[in-house]
Amino acid sequence: MYWENELETLNRTDLEKLQVQRLKNTIGLAINSPYYGSLYQKMGLSADSIKSVADLQKLPFTTKQDLRDNFPYGFLGLPQKEIIRLHSTSGTTGNPTVIFHSRHDIDSWANLMARSLFCAGVRDTDVFQNICGYGLFTGGLGFQYGIERLGCLSIPAGAGNSPRQIKLMQDYGTTVAHAIPSYLNRLFEVFQEEGLDPRKDTKLHTFVIGAEPHTEEQRQRIEEMFGVKAYNSFGLTEMNGPGVAFECTYQNGLHIWEDAYLVEIINPDTLAPVAEGEVGELVMTTLDRQAMPLIRYRTRDLTRILPGRCACGRTHVRLDRITGRSDDMFIVKGCNIFPMQIEGVLMKIPEVGADYLITLDTINGADEMIIEVEVKKDWFNGDITRLDKLSRMITGQIRDEVLVKPIVKLVEPGSLPKSEGKAVRVKELRIALNS
Amino acid sequence: MAYQVSIFLENKIGHLERVTAVLKAAQINIRTMNLNHTANGWGILNLVVSDPKMAHQLLIEKGLSAALREIVVIEMMDQPGGLDDLLKEIVNAGVNFTNAYGRSGYGNENAYFVIDTEDVTDARQKLLHAGLSIMPDELIYGTH
């Protein structure tokens, strides 16, 4: 029941042997790049510095800033004629993060993606609709190659245009779809507007959701709305994109493919490894990428490695759901808050719709956290007292969770900004002090 | 049984007009209305219109949060003291309400008083018992 029986169930000793061998190869390639070449030469590091996985600690971290500073070609480990594709982030906050791939890299990625989908129960008999932007964003082509490798009938639907998505689902009997979780709320609204029930009027049985952090409650809502199983997909452009870690049908953590990635969890302040099972920043090293190897890349994603083995029999460790990014934490009135904490509270309240927006603002000289929440249309009955009670209940529950009293504003359904890409959940309007 | 259409609205420029534009397009007449506002940036618009069911359906189709809410509408004299006389009787009948608004009399139409209360059936019974005249729907909505 595995895509690759041997690799996915390899015992830990053999897996580590494979990792050491691949890490040495990776360093050998990295040294060809201008960035790692000069850095490792200065530090006297080479493939021979690695005898065990623990030796990884000798190597310096790589940061997003390093990628930006060496934009675009500073990390290339192969001559440009060997490169066949690039993917990139939008670069709204500086140079875009660009990742280059050789033919081998694309092939290896497609395989990891197929392995991931197989692990979530997708088979070659499925009709797979990829509701994701094609182009520089990795979710389009990354999934496409994996879906084809697995052998599903692929529908490269692209992002947006919900009525068309629904028509495609109905015309071709889509059984599996991939989308970002915040978009699925919008899609469900359109189903309702068209008088359709996805549970009855489609053949969907599985959703793959990812590309933005979401809570368990959000997943359960999606499963209930569409009558499907929803599996969490984790990836990031720097590590190819999707196909890095994926949930199996047990839905208890994301198997991270350790033959392709070395995983560390560090304390983002001290940079030391955290104790086993503790939450920290995910640090990753590519083990099977030639064009642009990345060594000890600080992802900024916060998670932990789940203890124990998964009942599915795979030996690769599991990551917990991403709880946030070390750089998306915000501080209000001295309290550290992650958007996911707030989402966790909101999604447990049945009267609340799926979209929300957190705005941080300075009001009368004080930090305030304003949370705009949509109220479900069918719950509204015109009673002002009931709405007021709901508003106070949300305020109280969020205050109990994050220890800061928010200003809760109920808003009309559909009035919060909808984006085709990742949803914007936090807006910062505070006046920077002493800047 | 009479209904008002209640609409959840954010207190922002143009949001009320979105509602009236829908009614205008469908040639639905507003007989009387009331708009509440809370300190948290939202409020509720209550409308008595010529065709509440149609208005409700059209507003829902436009994606608004709208609800049909049962009301009790009582006839009232359009003269000084008209409301006070009516309220004395409502007090005697022992009926409390959470929201209320009215409509003046025009031509040969009587004025009326709209009340929104938690238990409409109970309120209606008490008011009838006290001898008050509950307006028939066609007079509330108008002949239009």
**Whole-number pLDDT of residue A408:** 95
**For A282, left (φ over 0), alpha (ψ -120 to 50), or beta?**
beta
Give, as one character, the DSSP assignment of residue A369: E
B8 pLDDT band, cuts 50/70/90, is very high
Mean pLDDT of A138-144: 95
Above 0.90 for ipTM, yes or no? no
Considering only CB atoms, B40 lies closest to which of A381, A408, A412, namely A408
In chain B, % of residues over pLDDT 90: 79
In chain A, % of residues over pLDDT 90: 72
pLDDT: is A335 or A14 the higher one? A14
Helices (H), chain B: 15-25, 52-61, 82-93, 120-129, 137-141
Q: Which of A190-194, B61-65, B68-72 has the highest mean pLDDT?
A: B68-72
- Average pLDDT value for chain A: 92
**Whole-number pLDDT of residue A434:** 37
Among A242, A263, A254, which Cα is nearest to A87's?
A: A242
Mean pLDDT of A173-201: 92
pLDDT above 60: residue A419: no
| Least confident range of A351-355, B46-50, B54-58 | A351-355
| Minimum distance, in Å, between the CA of residue A381 and any CA atom of chain B | 5
User: What domains can be seen in chain A, in order of their start residue?
Assistant: 1-326 (3.40.50.12780), 330-428 (3.30.300.30)
B65·A377 Cβ contact <8 A: yes
B2-69 placed in CATH 2.40.50.40:
no
pLDDT digits (tens, 9 = 90+) for A216-263: 988 999 999 999 999 999 999 999 999 999 999 999 999 999 999 999
pLDDT: is A384 or A211 the higher one? A384
Homologous superfamily of B70-141: ACT domain (3.30.70.260)
**Whole-number pLDDT of residue A344:** 87
Domain boundaries, chain B: 2-69, 70-141
Residue A139 main-chain phi, psi, to 5 deg: -70, -25
Mean pLDDT of A421-425: 68
Q: Which residues pair with B45 in a beta bridge?
A: B7, B35
Mean pLDDT of B91-120: 92
Which of B4, B8, B38 should be substituted to probe chain A, the one whose Cβ sees the most A Cβ atoms within 10 Å? B8
Which of A384, A387, A407 should be substituted to probe chain B, the one whose Cβ sees the most B Cβ atoms within 10 Å? A384
**CB–CB of B33/B45 below 8 Å?**
yes
Considering only CB atoms, B6 lies closest to which of A382, A407, A413, namely A382
pLDDT above 90: residue B100: yes
